[in-house]
Structure 1
């Protein structure tokens, strides 16, 4: 079954789940987010990998379809499950159950039911998102996401710091050991400046995140 996988580049935007042969290729829409009915893990024995997920969705004719996506690691798998569940959590027609296996031959590999249209033998987890997973996160990626978020609100932080510093109750700037400011906001701005300098001195660092994509996956 693993040989049937095709290497594709998936993109999750605010409107649809799309795919293409390469990141620069013209993308084809796999499904609109409003048509997603479930995003769940696939049991390891189905494809010989514990990093496979399935997206159950309705096609244009109203029929139920399933796409299987193989992720590189558990962190990527959980990020995709979390993202897809968040964008579809208010969809009508969400499934309450699903098959964690695949329909192979004449039966489901998980429960051995012979009806391919059977509703499922396990409960879906549409409200379980990344914050509730116990699997270890990619700390480098999480730190990078936080850094990019701080860059986006830096102007607001500096304006707030300016207002507080110029307020009627503003006093002399207190410094700790080594001359570092004790004001928490000033400390945060200083750390952000240090991080910016570190990124400038490391041209081989991570490229900017594509703003039009919520998430991308090569599978």
Structure 2
């Protein structure tokens, strides 16, 4: 079963949707598309992020994934992957879903990490059942919900600030670099690892594709921040 799930992921990753020559990955139209996707989420962002600067920062962190989602959404069907996840969990099958391209393992990590941190929220992350299969079904529903993805984005940022207090005092460019890299690479990593990875060109196709066809996720986030600041003036 592990082999079958692995093959499913490989087949999806081999879709012929990447360029064969070096080019600037994101164009002006991609940024506009990302902004349009965000417009329908304004009220949900305001529920969980209370200052305009924090809203822009949060949107900056996920903006690269928004643009990738806009390009890829018609190519990838996740139903079979969802069924495998419900049956076997994220250790066997893990995949990106929704506009922010979050993964079940990302939600699971934040849920577990929250228990050990003194964090306070205007929402709680609880499940109706202690049964793992039922929780996976409910977790998938959350992954498909824009508001729930924003809730987990808030949890991610608060967890990063709690785990790494020095983040709060950094200049905005440094904060964006580290938070966006943690979002892309994984929030479990040390700041030193995030600083090193911030320069690695593995977005949007991953480590198995040539670096010259890609950029770093942090670079996209920094560019998105400037774009959103101008758009919100």
TM class by smaller structure:
under 0.3
| Higher RCO, 1 vs 2 (CA within 8 Å, ≥6 residues apart) | 2
* Structure (1 or 2) with the greater strand fraction: 1
TM-score (ref. length: structure 2) = 0.22
Larger radius of gyration: 1
